[in-house]
């Protein structure tokens, strides 16, 4: 973070929330070159911030997207050096949350709906119910200069960023990706970047037929999208200016059923895709022409409904929503993926942590934060040397899944 925490009080438009201050969100290793995004206008909510004298980790935060249908909010937590969380405010995004048809616990049915970029100090959130994208400038635990733009499609549910380019995945209708250029005046649509995914959904999609995530390859040469219902992993090779180099995505059949989340190993050369049908992870190489090569066949974890996957150093952690567990994986020096233990559970499950969905990893890769949709909580864990997770904190009172619920978490 570029600015230290300073104690003061915002006195602008209140956020539309219920149950007081809440917080949390999903963090991403994304890079935005150039200067800080200057976002214009829009009042933030009235919010009391924790005193810097009472909090040692003044420059660390965890963000959670509330995804409320009547007014989406971002719940901010100050993160202590020991990983503990302190509520630090709630901010309205200026848009509405969304709920996919028949979603069991995860309203957006996606990974990457909330993204924080440390290089620019910008937080990006989707407003699925409004078809918009919100940008905030982050200063400590403060969110400033809210800016709202159209997403270019129906039901935006995932965001990816590389360099000065951001892409949004719209899950509704035929599905699409739309690029934006990051400028000092905000996000500007990237002319010629729109590409359809050719799906067959309504404007509000079904959770099992909507796309799961959009992500850049670490070198920025390709954009990758998972489609759950079609069982495909689709790749758009990109030009140097961020525009797609092909008219249509290169369609690859998924090695495992219901591909959902995308992650990359520390080298950036191996792509891991979490597959919900049998709770497996497949390792691929993304070729320059958009075709995939399977490097390791689907690895099962013995759990139920693996949907989310994030990397912390040489470890990966996956959220299994049906039985509310977190699985740990390790990668050896040859790039081979394996479970961190025989049972496929990195931390003991808890009756107070039900409906595990999205995860976030801190920039130093020492802590993992897990959203529990049914419980309305976020658990924080310390990453141990063997890949085990030790719980250090639980944040309560977040929007629990009912008609809709929180989804999207970021940390730094």
pLDDT digits (tens, 9 = 90+) for 204-222: 999 999 999 999 999 999 9
pLDDT of residue 58: 58
Q: What is the mean predicted confidence (pLDDT) over 270-274? A: 98
Hey, what domains does the chain have and what are their CATH numbers?
9-411 (2.130.10.10)
Residue carrying the six token digits 């130093």: 364
pLDDT of residue 45: 32
Proportion of the chain above pLDDT 90, given as a percent:
80
The reply to whether the predicted model has a pTM over 0.75 is yes
Q: What is the mean predicted confidence (pLDDT) over 39-44? A: 34
Report the alpha-carbon distance of residue 304 to residue 233 in Å, rounded.
Answer: 21
Average pLDDT of the chain, as a whole number = 87
232: confidence class by pLDDT, cuts 50, 70, 90: very high
At 283-315, the pLDDT tens digits run 999 999 999 999 999 999 999 999 999 999 999
At 172-206, the pLDDT tens digits run 999 999 999 887 777 899 999 999 999 999 999 99
At 314-368, the pLDDT tens digits run 999 999 999 999 999 999 999 999 999 999 999 999 988 999 999 999 999 999 9
The burial of 102, by beta-carbon neighbours within 10 Å (0-12 exposed, 13-18 middle, 19 or more buried), is given as exposed
pLDDT exceeds cutoff 90 at 159? yes
Q: Is 131 left (phi over 0), alpha (psi -120 to 50) or beta?
A: left
pLDDT of residue 181: 87
Residues 117/412, Cβ–Cβ less than 8 Å: no
pLDDT exceeds cutoff 50 at 27? no
403: confidence class by pLDDT, cuts 50, 70, 90: confident
């Amino acid at each position: 973070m570029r600015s230290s925490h300073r104690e003061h009080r915002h006195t602008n438009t209140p956020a539309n929330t219920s149950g007081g201050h809440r917080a949390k969100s999903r963090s991403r290793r994304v890079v935005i070159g150039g200067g800080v995004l200057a976002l214009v206008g829009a009042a933030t909510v009235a919010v009391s911030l924790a005193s810097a004298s009472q909090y040692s980790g003044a420059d660390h935060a965890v963000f959670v997207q509330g995804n409320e249908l009547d007014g989406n909010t971002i719940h901010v937590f100050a993160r202590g050096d020991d990983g503990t969380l302190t509520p630090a405010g709630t901010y309205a995004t200026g848009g509405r949350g969304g709920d996919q048809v028949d979603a069991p616990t995860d309203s957006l049915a996606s990974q990457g709906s909330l993204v924080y970029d440390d290089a620019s100090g910008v937080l990006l959130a989707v407003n699925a119910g409004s078809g918009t994208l919100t940008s905030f400038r982050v200063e400590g635990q403060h969110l400033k200069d809210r800016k709202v733009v159209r997403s270019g499609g129906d039901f935006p549910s995932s965001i990816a960023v590389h360099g000065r380019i951001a892409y949004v995945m719209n899950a509704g209708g035929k599905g699409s990706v739309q690029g934006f250029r990051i400028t000092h005046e905000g996000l500007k649509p990237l002319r010629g970047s729109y590409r359809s995914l050719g799906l067959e959904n309504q404007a509000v999609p079904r959770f099992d037929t909507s796309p799961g995530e959009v992500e850049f390859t670490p070198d920025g040469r390709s954009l990758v999208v998972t489609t759950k219902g079609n069982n495909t992993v689709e790749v758009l090779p990109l030009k140097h200016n961020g525009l797609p180099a092909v008219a249509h995505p290169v369609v690859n059949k998924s090695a495992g059923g219901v591909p959902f989340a995308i992650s990359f190993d520390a080298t950036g050369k191996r792509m891991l895709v979490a597959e919900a049908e049998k709770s497996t992870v497949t390792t691929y190489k993304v070729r320059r022409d958009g075709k995939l090569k399977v490097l390791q066949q689907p690895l099962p974890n013995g759990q139920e409904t693996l949907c989310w996957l994030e990397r912390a150093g040489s470890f990966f952690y996956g959220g299994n929503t049906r039985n509310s567990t977190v699985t740990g994986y390790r990668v050896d020096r040859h790039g081979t993926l394996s479970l961190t233990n025989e049972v496929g559970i990195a931390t003991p499950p808890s009756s107070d942590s039900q409906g595990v969905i999205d995860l976030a990893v801190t920039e130093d890769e020492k802590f993992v934060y897990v959203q529990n949709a049914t419980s309305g909580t976020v658990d924080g864990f310390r990453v141990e040397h063997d890949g085990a997770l030790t719980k250090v904190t639980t944040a309560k009172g977040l929007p629990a899944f009912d008609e809709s619920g929180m989804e999207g978490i970021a940390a730094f």
